[in-house]
Amino acid sequence: MKSHRFHTIAATLAALITPGIALAHDYPTTSRVEFALECMQTYGTSQEYIYKCSCLIDEIAAKLSHDDYVELSSFSRAQAMTGERGGMFRGTDQTKDAIKKYLGIVNESKKRCFIK
């Protein structure tokens, strides 16, 4: 009887915790749409790329929390700025490492989503 009660409690706790884990990397719809539109501008505007770019943001979301994604992708975009404003993103080891991490995740995800 004690074993049955333990399994029931364990199953109940697992059911309560699982939705939180599943949503841990849930991105707002606007972030997903903005990413997909930017991706399509970069790689192609055919219907095929709707699926490929959606796949890409899904792969990134599986690896990074939304906050980490915003930070790392911002660093990546900002490094392309010219002048002093962009220099602070190019100059530190911390930002270089962050950009390298983000680009590594993106490149690995591109392979999984068949984006060249």
Q: Would residue 76 count as lying in a domain? A: yes
Q: Would residue 8 count as lying in a domain? A: no
Q: Would residue 61 count as lying in a domain? A: yes
Q: Would residue 12 count as lying in a domain? A: no
Q: Would residue 13 count as lying in a domain? A: no
Q: Would residue 47 count as lying in a domain? A: yes
Positive or negative, the CA dihedral 22, 27, 30, 36 is negative
Give me the amino acid identity at 12: T
Does the pTM surpass 0.75? The reply is: no
Neighbours of 102 (CB within 10 A): 22
- C-beta separation of 79 from 100 below 8 A: no
Local confidence band at 55 (pLDDT 50, 70, 90 cut-offs): very high
Percent of the chain at pLDDT > 70 equals: 73
Q: Would residue 4 count as lying in a domain? A: no
Q: What is the pLDDT of residues 81-104, one digit of tens each?
A: 777 766 666 667 888 888 899 999
- What total number of domains does the chain contain? 1
Q: Would residue 71 count as lying in a domain? A: yes
**Residue 46, domain extent:** 27-112
